[in-house]
Amino acid sequence: MDRCALCKGKLRKHKELKDEVEIKGWKCSKCKETYFSSNELLKWEIFSGRRKNNVRKIRKVGNSFTVTLPNTFVRADNINNNDLAIFKRHKDGYILQIVHL
């Protein structure tokens, strides 16, 4: 994105502090409209406390990465130790499917 959708003005990189969370985006030099990517807005929702549920941090363990499952999911779907997790690539990210053993 290099032009404003409203006035076709030139966009410049922009940082903004919103609810004490720094988010990066673009600002039109002509009409001052601001644009943020969905990832930046999601980051803002998480760190500002607007999105609390079902967010987990990815951590490095040895040469692999790990993510925990919320207890509400584990209880609701009767997920047990040694069940399998299948990750499927999706246009918006990944879909996780649990296979019970």
Predicted confidence (pLDDT) per residue in 14-36, tens digit: 999 988 899 999 999 999 999 99
**In percent, how much of the chain has pLDDT > 70?**
99
Q: Are residues 69 and 92 in the same domain?
A: yes
Q: Does residue 85 belong to any structural domain of this protein?
A: yes
Q: Does the structure show a pLDDT above 90 at 92?
A: no
Q: Are residues 69 and 38 in the same domain?
A: no
If one counts the domains in the chain, the total is: 2
The pTM (predicted TM-score) of the whole model is 0.56
44-52 long-range Cβ contacts below 8 angstroms, 24+ apart:
44/18, 44/19, 47/21, 48/18, 48/19, 48/20, 48/21
Q: Does residue 90 belong to any structural domain of this protein?
A: yes
CA–CA gap between residue 16 and residue 24 (Å, rounded): 6
Q: Are residues 64 and 95 in the same domain?
A: yes
Q: Does residue 3 belong to any structural domain of this protein?
A: no
Arithmetic mean of pLDDT, 44-54: 83
Domain extent at residue 16 = 11-47
